[in-house]
A = this chain, B = another copy of it.
């Protein structure tokens, strides 16, 4: 745990110690509203992914604006959201191992929990635990619609798995999880549109095969911030799972925006201080890779095209500067992280700012919840 907070409510932004994870509430609230508007009257449900924020304060605001529930990526990640009173959570992952399944069943006593499978053995293990406890679980089949990660291929493997789930009360076959992860950061709008058209066709065909076996496919769920307008408009997907739209990050900003794409704003920043100015073209800031995750590349310096973040070590960031005098030693800068999800996971709090003043600290309650 960090031994003291970066700021307290009432502090002005310049008083926030660095590095700190800063959420601009006005930009954040506009992003929330844009997403709510984007699904309004479409018949498509919004189930935002909480792996991006890990913060019940944010999930409650998403639900207040119409989200049906949330997604989590791990069983332990779901726990603080259940504790905060959220009652509908889809764990968008396989859950394997006796200890994990026990915890999953514990959560399912307090909330409606969904989970993915892509193998009969997972179904049998879930069925055994659900049968012992008498608790229903919503089970979704993960279908590989192009991401090449987990999931059964489209078609008959999914039919067999759906039949198995349907036969294993109190498990309930809820639908298909058809998330195309690798499409999210395809840079051109055409590539993203084609990838989702292909994914939707596979999802649709798989649904048809399962339904011709007499099993209803209620939900087809998927989509991320990069592609969600295509899933929304597909006529196939009826639930969307975007996570990053509330924050945005450099990697999403690198996507070229297509017609109809929603103009989400950067709302999440890592505030940093220049702690060394060793050469005319080099500045060193106090936010390194333990302050801004570099798995998807370096952060960018917000509003400063004359300054480039070149490389990160644990607690140093090396910047190239055009001006030998600016930024100066002690100057404060805002970084836009390369990837918001693992960056948020480095912090205990979001420092929430409005009109230049800290309004609240929101706990990143599921930080480190990898189990």
A57 at the interface (CB under 8 A from B): no
Q: Are B346 and A275 in contact (CB under 8 A)?
A: no
* A72: nearest chain-B partner, CB-CB: B315
A348 at the interface (CB under 8 A from B): yes
Min CB gap A142→B, angstroms: 8
Most buried by B among A80, A100, A284, A342: A342
List which A134-191 residues lie within 8 A (CB) of chain B. Answer: 142, 144, 149-152, 181
Q: Are B342 and A17 in contact (CB under 8 A)?
A: no
A286 at the interface (CB under 8 A from B): yes
| Complex: A1 Cα to B366 Cα, angstroms | 6
Which one, B150, B152, B287, contacts A284 given CB within 8 A?
A: B150
Q: Are B18 and A97 in contact (CB under 8 A)?
A: yes
A330 at the interface (CB under 8 A from B): yes
* Protomer copies: 2
Across-interface contacts of A17 in B (CB, < 8 A): 97, 99-100, 371
Min CB gap A242→B, angstroms: 14
| Complex: A289 Cα to B293 Cα, angstroms | 10
| Complex: A97 Cα to B331 Cα, angstroms | 9
Across-interface contacts of A18 in B (CB, < 8 A): 97, 371
Per-residue contact bits, chain A 6-37, to B (CB 8 Å; 1 contact, 0 not): 10000000010111100000000000000000
Which one, B151, B312, B314, B329, contacts A278 given CB within 8 A?
A: B151
Q: Are A273 and B368 in contact (CB under 8 A)?
A: no
Min CB gap A111→B, angstroms: 14
Across-interface contacts of A118 in B (CB, < 8 A): 276, 278
A321 at the interface (CB under 8 A from B): no
Q: Are B96 and A286 in contact (CB under 8 A)?
A: yes
Q: Are B121 and A1 in contact (CB under 8 A)?
A: no
List which A336-371 residues lie within 8 A (CB) of chain B. Answer: 341-342, 345-348, 365, 367-371
Q: Are B345 and A290 in contact (CB under 8 A)?
A: yes
A73 at the interface (CB under 8 A from B): yes
